[in-house]
Homo-oligomer: A and B are copies of this chain.
Amino acid sequence: MDIAIPLFDRITALDAIGPYEVLSRLPGARIRWVAVTPGPYRTDNRQLTLVAEEPLSAVPHPDIIMVPGGFGTRVLMTPNPLLDWLRAAHETSQWTTSVCTGSLLLGAAGILRGLEATTHWAAHEQLAELGAKPTLKRVVVQGKVVTAAGVSSGIDMALTLVARIAGDEFAQTVQLGIEYDPQPPFHAGSPQTAPPHIVSALRERTRARLESLKT
């Protein structure tokens, strides 16, 4: 089972590694780290290198497409080879999935038109502009298209997917294997639970960061 995870400059590492850690445990899983150009890619904070081992063209028909997000998605919203690949690969995929602002790329490829979908909480407006119906759920399943909310939600998304593919017992085995019994020290993981002044400050900082990347 080929699971293609495209990399690009300024990816958010946990968006990719959360689902990787879960999906790679599927029987017969083969993770394919792909990019327009194979090679090293730096994460959003420039503090980690992830390596794309193959060009997109080496994996035209993955069984699962898993698109991570990151600030780097924003320069990939206009026509480009990654969107072309997504559109073509989606035609034959069993599952087309995303984490965080990875869904903006699915949207830009035209894959989310008319579908309920989600993304990082700070990017819901952009998702709507791409023809999707943004929802506040953490994992949104629409036929074979599965989108997840911000960064860490990819773990929940991937466990949901593993249950669909290999059954509930297998998904529980994977959950136990990664000891996923989360106990966050605060209740601040969503705009609904975090203190409002923290939400507005982070929203403003995110906007400023995106602006600075444009220049």
Contact = CB atoms under 8 A, between A and B. Distances in A.
Interface residues of A, number: 63
B193 A179 contact: no
A189 to B, nearest CB: 3
A179 B149 contact: yes
B179 A198 contact: no
Interface string A139-169: 1000000000111110110011001000011
A81 interface: no
Contacts of A17: 13-14, 17-18, 48
B178 A194 contact: no
A21 B31 contact: no
Interface in A171-186: 171-173, 175-186
A121 interface: yes
Given A14-B21, A184-B156, A201-B173, A150 B179 contact: yes
A57 interface: no
B179 A120 contact: yes
A186 B168 contact: yes
A169 B201 CA distance: 11
Contacts of A169: 195, 198
A94 interface: no
B198 A185 contact: no
Interface string A183-214: 11110111101110011011000000000000
A51 interface: yes
Interface string A1-23: 00000000000111001101100
Q: List 8 A-B pairs, minimum CB-CB distance, nearest first.
A: A150-B179, A181-B189, A172-B188, A182-B182, A14-B21, A151-B178, A17-B17, A181-B190
